[in-house]
Amino acid sequence: SRLAPDLRRKHLLRVGAELFAEMPYDEVQIEEVARRAGVSRGLLYHYFASKRDFFAAIVEGGSKELAQLTEPDPDLPPLDRLRTSIDAYLDFVERYEHSYLAIHRGGASADRKIRTVVERNQRRFERRTLDLLTGGAKPSPVGRLAIVGWHSFLVTTCLDWLEHRKPDRNAVRELCVHTLVATVIAAGRVQTGEAPALP
C-alpha cells in the first residue's frame, strides 16, 4: 500500500527493529527486510543509503524508546526508582538482544554513526542516574566518574548475562543496584580521604 514518506520510513524502521532483534546483525539481509515490509529493495535504499545507515536509524529510535522506558517515577522512593529503571533496562536488553550485542560487541559497534548514538544514550542515562542521586545538584568530578564507571559495569554485566543467562534476572538487577550504592559510597569516601573499607 502507498504510504506518506514519513509513515513509510517509520514502517521500515519498525520492521527492521523486529528483524535485527531476531537475529545477529551480520545475518540480517536487506532483501528480507524489504520482503517483510512489502516493498522493493530499491525503495528501502531510497530511504537508507546502506545497511549501516538503516541500523543506525534503528539504534537512534531504540535509544529514544529506552530513554522513555527507563524514565524514573518521581513518586517512588530513590531505591525503588532505581530498581524500576534497571528492570525496564533489562526488559529492553532482552527484547532487543541481538541489536544490543551488535552495538556493544559486534562489528556494528565500530561504526561512527552508531557509536555516536550509543554514547549519547549513555551520557543521558548517566545524567539521569546522577540527578537521581544528587537531586539535580552538580556532582563532584569523583562522583561523575563513579557513575560513568558504573554504567560501563551495567553494560558489561548485561552482555555477559545475555551470553550465559546466569544468574537469574532478579539477581542481575539487585547486583546492579547494590553495585551502584557501593560505588556512590566509595566515591564519598574518596572525596573525604577515607581508607577503603574491606568486607
pLDDT of residue 1: 57
Buried b / exposed e along 132-152 (16+ C-beta atoms within 10 A): bbeeeeebeeebbebbeebbe
Spell out, as residue ranges, where the chain has pLDDT lower than 70: 1
Question: Which pLDDT belongs to residue 108?
Answer: 75
Measured CA to CA, the distance from residue 93 to residue 114 in angstroms comes to 17
pLDDT at 32: 95
Q: How far is CA 171 from CA 149, 165, 176, 181, in A?
A: 20, 11, 9, 15
CA angle 93, 36, 17 (to 5 degrees): 20
**What pLDDT digit, counting tens, does each position of 3-57 carry?**
798 999 999 999 999 999 999 999 999 999 999 999 999 999 999 999 999 999 9
- Grid coordinates belonging to 38: 512489502
Query: How far apart are the C-alpha atoms of 20 and 99, rounded to whole Å?
Result: 6
Residue 152: the pLDDT is: 95
Cell of 166: 546466569
Note the pTM of the prediction, 2 decimals: 0.88
